[in-house]
């Protein structure tokens, strides 16, 4: 029999991921000199805020989103593994914001890695959400994929 564990923790992590991204993109926007790059950072920061609101709505209705652990200890081990990644470490992002980036490409590469980690994390967490409640998470995963594409296109345009 599967063990029930706290779905609130998953959603709180997702909220923090989105907040970290919002702070990063806001800082990058303030420091951007190129208006095209600034526009991308502004767009991504706004999207992170929208995602955060979706996760907050899910958190408010969490009783409808029961999550089950597939084997004893799986959830705790998984959360420890993913929380060790910098996408969940606000201090790592704060340091990047404080230190800045040597150039636009470095900032874009960091944004790409943030988006990739978000996609991987949300995709992995998906199996813990009830099937009939996965659509909100699926929408965010698709938007994160679009963000990744936007950053890759931006990076390619700067290489020219």
Contact predicate 150/44, CB 8 Å: yes
Q: What percent of the chain has pLDDT over 70?
A: 76
Distance CA 155, CA 48 (A): 20
How many whole angstroms from its chain centre is CA 9? 15
Q: Mean pLDDT in the chain? A: 79
115 close to 40: Cβ distance less than 8 angstroms: no
> What span, in angstroms and rounded, lies between the C-alpha atoms of 141 and 10?
15
pLDDT band at 54 (very low <50, low <70, confident <90, very high): confident
Sign of CA pseudo-dihedral 7, 127, 86, 153: negative
pLDDT at 84 exceeding the cut of 60? no
Q: Can you give the pTM of this predicted structure?
A: 0.78
Where are the domains positioned within the chain? 3-159
Decide if domain 3-159 falls under CATH 3.10.20.340: no
């Amino acid at each position: 029999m599967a063990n029930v564990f706290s779905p609130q923790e998953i959603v709180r992590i997702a909220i923090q991921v989105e907040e970290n991204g919002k702070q990063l993109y806001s800082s990058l926007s303030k420091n951007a000199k190129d208006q095209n790059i600034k526009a991308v950072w502004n767009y991504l920061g706004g999207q992170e805020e929208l995602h955060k609101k979706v996760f907050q709505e899910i958190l408010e209705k969490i009783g409808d989103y029961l999550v089950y652990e597939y084997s004893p200890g799986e959830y705790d081990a998984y959360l420890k593994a993913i929380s060790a990644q910098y996408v969940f470490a606000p201090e790592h992002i704060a340091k990047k914001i404080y230190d800045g980036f040597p150039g636009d490409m470095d900032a874009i590469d960091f944004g790409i890695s943030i988006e990739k980690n978000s996609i991987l994390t949300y995709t992995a967490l998906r199996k813990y959400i009830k099937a009939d409640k996965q659509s909100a998470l699926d929408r965010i995963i698709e938007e994160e994929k679009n963000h990744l594409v936007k950053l890759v296109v931006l990076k390619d345009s700067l290489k020219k």
